[in-house]
Structure 1
């Protein structure tokens, strides 16, 4: 039976979440963030390693998980792992609600919002593991305007890499992201806007905006804009 209560549907890989993650202010899996219930659906067989590699055998599992979320009342499908952008087309074709798997979908729009000489700073969990093809940019000049920074070595990185994962406070997330942003801006003073590709970063967005004075975009801002477009 289809659930008639509107909600945000979040696809997740097969992994354990740190305790209290859904209560962090600003987290995409905190229902207060969107003013709607947030329902999560694990994608069967979707280990983090396979998703990061873009294993095509997971397409059917992503499609089925998204369909289950729609049946449960989801008016928007998103993902708690940005690597799911590799399955964006398959998921969007499988459901009749908007699908936004990653904040990286905003990149072409953001590049047009800033001067041609300016850059976008993409903040990710681990810059060493970031795949260039996720950007969806083929023009070399546009690619030159995108720089990548990660939070390797910080408290968030350490806690999320632990087994099982450990909780990280909002204060620690803010410190890690601000440190990474400062490092990236020092080597790229042309940065005019920031895009958080990591779904763990939205709780730090407000602090980063205050500290840097820069526009900060993430999966939460993308989902909020999309939700405003649906009845």
Structure 2
């Protein structure tokens, strides 16, 4: 087999490129920004100056640095680009139109799929970093029509999550954040029994998906389920076996 180098590319074999916010948060195993989360290599690129506050505030000037970072990832050979904040949905369509490779910036892009696999009358529950910021603008940018099919609950009033992720104190107590995330999931399902599946919007919530699932007994989707799904489409396995 003959291999050819791509001009300017430093390394190879990273199909997924991940754009990271400029934040001061510990990224534990299971987090989108922790390399040990994956069974395959990924390439990270921090978007300098693109803070959590700017993204939650829907800063329209965030697109240019996001585009520059995504173009750098594409130039390094990744075959698809994602992000680490569901609120990046605001830039999904524009960035996808600007690159020649697939773009799936937001975990919220999974909502139409999740909704389609649930029976009539069932709802998708979304646990988000900030329920006030997750408005119709963000949902519609992700291809989601706001309405009765969604139940949204936020983590902004949970002390340990808020301190670690929103206030960026630099310290994260995973045991306490897990407990807070589970409590939000339980409260949601208790208040709305028609919830048939949950989506953890924030990339920092992915490590707690198993605990949430154990507590509520429902399918739980997050950023990592989406990234694994896209990777499986980009890098197909060769099957061997017997009949």
TM range (shorter): 0.7 to 0.9
Q: Which residue of 2 aligns with 1:217?
A: 221
Q: Tell me which moved more, 151-160 or 120-129.
A: 151-160
Q: Which one of 95, 101, 105 corresponds to residue 99 of structure 2?
A: 95
- Say if 2:87 and 2:134, in contact at 8 Å, map to a contact too: no
Q: Which residue of 2 aligns with 1:164?
A: 169
Equivalent runs, 1:123-134 vs 2, <5 Å: 123-134=127-138
Cα drift, residue 70 of structure 1: 1.9
CA root-mean-square deviation:
2.0
Change (3 A) 1:156 1:110: same
Q: Which residue of 1 aligns with 2:10?
A: 3
SS of aligned partner of 2:203: coil
> 1:198-217 CA deviation, whole Å, 9 max, x = no partner?
11111011122222210001
Question: 2: CA distance between counterparts of 1:113 and 1:164?
Answer: 39
- The aligned length equals 224
- Say if 1:63 and 1:90, in contact at 8 Å, map to a contact too: no
Q: Which one of 106, 109, 126 corresponds to residue 105 of structure 1?
A: 109
Q: Which one of 185, 191, 205 corresponds to residue 189 of structure 2?
A: 185
Cα drift, residue 4 of structure 1: 4.2
Can you give the 5+ residue segments of structure 1 that lack an aligned partner in the other structure? Answer: none
- Say if 1:13 and 1:47, in contact at 8 Å, map to a contact too: yes
Q: Tell me which moved more, 85-94 or 70-79.
A: 70-79
Q: Tell me which moved more, 3-12 or 214-223.
A: 3-12
> 1:103-158 CA deviation, whole Å, 9 max, x = no partner?
11011111111122111110011223322222226756xx1110111222232222
Change (3 A) 1:103 1:230: same
Can you give the 5+ residue segments of structure 2 that lack an aligned partner in the other structure? Answer: 1-7, 236-243
Report the TM-score, using the length of structure 2 for normalisation: 0.83
Equivalent runs, 1:37-186 vs 2, <5 Å: 37-136=41-140, 143-151=147-155, 152-169=157-174, 171-186=175-190
Question: 2: CA distance between counterparts of 1:139 and 1:65?
Answer: 29
Runs of 4+ in 1 over 6 A off after TM superposition: none
Question: 1: CA distance between counterparts of 2:168 and 2:54?
Answer: 18
